[in-house]
Amino acid sequence: MDLTIHQNCPSCGAEIELHEADRLIQCPYCEVKNFMVNRGPLRFVLPDKAPVHIDRSEMFYAPYLRFKGNIYYCKGKYLKYRVIDTTQRGMNSSVLPPSLGLRPQAMRISLVTDTVSGSFFRQTVEARTLLDKASQLTVIDSEDINASFYNRAYIGESLSCIYLPLYIEDGVLYDAVINKPLAHGSSVKTLQRKSDRYHPGWSPHFLATLCPHCGDTLTGEHDSLVLSCHNCHSSWEEKQGGFHSINWQRVVSRHKHMYNLPFWKLQVRSTGVEMNNFAEFLRITNQPLVVQPVHEQMGLAFWIPAFKLKPKTFIRLAKNMTVSQGKLSDGEQTMAKGMHPVTLQRTEAVQALKSVMAEAALNKQRLLPLLPRMRFHSLATELTYLPFFDRGHDFVQEQSGLSLAKSVLRFGRSL
């Protein structure tokens, strides 16, 4: 489930509505675009309905950790996955509810800013604990498979912190969202001891969307992680608080009105299980293709969608595009109309390599046990846009003929 966030425009202060995955924020009032950058998890607060006589600077905020993402795992001869979307208490306390339930989805939440004057309870549960719990679910899910785990990958995950507002009146601790008592007496005093005031490092900061190379305006959609300059044909990603240019290309089509979908082309070699070229990939995964001399000359690249999709579609598309790479032609650095936003980070794409190997393997029983000793070494990365025909309900890739339902692509924007 996606969250709706209300936030003030960093340029004019008007109140605007955002979605959880939004990074490029265009204000509908002043029309200024800003790119949101955060260090560590984003911090949100639920709206409170505390009575007016409660002094806001005396309020407390309890942390809940929200984890969203997909786990792909290999066990025995199976590649499986699980979608995780969970919010759990971020501190050890028996008086606070273990989870926020559906409240974050049902309410308008806000980013924590310096206007929140109360005290924040310290997060004592580490994010790692949530990952461990999530990975425990894969054990439960696959109990009927009597074999070993060979790989686990977390792809497209995001972690955020949502604070539940609380207040104390006459020694009783209240949940300020629903104004119901939670606890009283000594347990309330223990809670109060470990708290901090707002810290400026908790808030995201905003970058002006100007091309560092030519000064023109960078473009992108609300959820774009990579911004484009259509003037000097460059692509930019945010790193350590600034925009850095990335290698990119677009495979040019002979046809008009094509839709361009981005892929991370990750050129690698593998040790442990030696793979230095595309021919070796085809042999190790037993592809039903005749390996040709040209395949021996081709480097090994994985083609991972640079946009979010449901796990099954994501891994299948990554595998099919990787297997079909011999059909793709070289690209050039020219921007075009109809470029789909990059919504999956390159670092997330890297996590997918072993799962793509597993999906590609015709003989999974033989290949999956090799995964633990496979080590991938990155040689080059390039963001590559591939042209797709618009065929009504589907997009069809020009060179490979692979198709992708539009509904699946739309759904991916809300993941």
Footprint on this chain of Zn ion (rule: CB under 5 A): 9, 11-12, 14, 27, 29-30, 211, 213-214, 216, 229, 231-232
Q: CB-wise, 93 or 224, nearer to Zn ion?
A: 224
Kindly tell me the sign of the dihedral angle through the C-alpha atoms of 110, 113, 118, 122. Answer: positive
Residue 108 C-beta: closest distance to Zn ion, Å: 18
Q: CB-wise, 139 or 214, nearer to Zn ion?
A: 214
> 229 - beta bridge partners?
234
Q: CB-wise, 205 or 213, nearer to Zn ion?
A: 213
Q: CB-wise, 10 or 41, nearer to Zn ion?
A: 10
Q: CB-wise, 22 or 48, nearer to Zn ion?
A: 22
C-alpha 358/C-alpha 144 separation (Å) is 20
C-alpha 375/C-alpha 276 separation (Å) is 12
113 phi and psi, to 5 degrees? -130, 180
Q: Are 8 and 15 in contact (CB under 8 A)?
A: yes
Q: CB-wise, 11 or 345, nearer to Zn ion?
A: 11
Residue 221 C-beta: closest distance to Zn ion, Å: 18
The token duo for 86 is 């969970």
CB-based burial label for 157 (10 Å; 0-12, 13-18, 19+) = middle
Residue 213 C-beta: closest distance to Zn ion, Å: 4
Element (H, E) at 153: strand 149-169
Residue 227 C-beta: closest distance to Zn ion, Å: 10
Residue 31 C-beta: closest distance to Zn ion, Å: 7
Q: CB-wise, 321 or 339, nearer to Zn ion?
A: 339
Residue 206 C-beta: closest distance to Zn ion, Å: 11
C-alpha 14/C-alpha 114 separation (Å) is 17
Report CA-CA distances (Å) from 272 to 129, 142, 296, 355, 375: 30, 27, 19, 16, 6
Q: CB-wise, 86 or 231, nearer to Zn ion?
A: 231
Residue 386 C-beta: closest distance to Zn ion, Å: 23
Report CA-CA distances (Å) from 248 to 24, 207, 277, 331: 20, 22, 21, 9
- Please choose, from the candidates 280, 344, 354, 351, the residue with its C-alpha nearest in 3D space to the C-alpha of residue 306: 344
> 35 - beta bridge partners?
24, 207
Residue 212 C-beta: closest distance to Zn ion, Å: 8
Q: CB-wise, 184 or 230, nearer to Zn ion?
A: 230
> 376 - beta bridge partners?
270
Residue 395 C-beta: closest distance to Zn ion, Å: 28
C-alpha 122/C-alpha 107 separation (Å) is 23
Q: CB-wise, 243 or 388, nearer to Zn ion?
A: 243
- Please choose, from the candidates 71, 70, 73, the residue with its C-alpha nearest in 3D space to the C-alpha of residue 147: 73
Give Cα 248 to chain centroid, integer Å. 20
The token duo for 413 is 């924007």
C-alpha 237/C-alpha 225 separation (Å) is 7
Residue 339 C-beta: closest distance to Zn ion, Å: 15
The token duo for 291 is 């390996």
Residue 329 C-beta: closest distance to Zn ion, Å: 26
Q: CB-wise, 27 or 361, nearer to Zn ion?
A: 27
Instruction: Check residue 38 and give left, alpha or beta (phi > 0: left; psi -120 to 50: alpha).
Output: beta
Give me the residue label for tokens 């929140």. 116
Q: What is the CA radius of gyration of the chain?
A: 24
